[in-house]
Amino acid sequence: MSVRDVICAVLLLSGALFCVIGAYGVLRLPDVPSRLQAATKPQTLGLLLILAGTAVRLEPQYAVGLALAGLFQVITAPVVSQLYGRAAYRTGAIDRSSLVIDELDERLRAERPEGHPGGRVSDKH
């Protein structure tokens, strides 16, 4: 067994462990913001470790595709998480009393027209 094989095995196993921890967090955490953290951060790190472990075994010209897949994941995961969080906030799926700082409520109140009832904010079309 070569050093390359050991590095590959360590990266693959640690990536799989992070993915399992993230999936467990999605199942066990109590609220939407916590689940979003568990769905994005450890899952992204786990995928990057798995891609790195796979890249160790490939020739460099083939590993570039894996690097692009990892870059795409790092760029898109936080954006999608933010959109899901906003949608959950606007539909009332988040318990606002559990939030320490509620910057989105302040922003939505500033955007709300005069006489508009509180509560859910409808999309402007």
Do 87 and 53 meet the contact criterion of CB atoms below 8 Å apart?
no
For the chain, the domains span 3-111
19 close to 47: Cβ distance less than 8 angstroms: yes
Q: Is 101 exposed, middle or buried (0-12, 13-18, 19+ CB in 10 A)?
A: exposed
d(CA 7, CA 53): 7
Q: What is the pTM of this model?
A: 0.76
Taking the CB of residue 4, how many other CB atoms lie within 10 A of it? 10
| Contact present, 73 and 81 (Cβ < 8 Å) | no
In this prediction, residues 85-98 reach a mean pLDDT of 84
- Amino acid of residue 17: L
pLDDT digits (tens, 9 = 90+) for 22-52: 999 999 998 888 888 888 999 999 999 999 9
What's the pLDDT tens digit per position in 44-76? Answer: 999 999 999 999 998 888 888 999 999 999 999
Contact 49, 7 (CB under 8 A): no
Question: Residue 54: which of 44, 67, 41 has the closest Cα?
Answer: 67
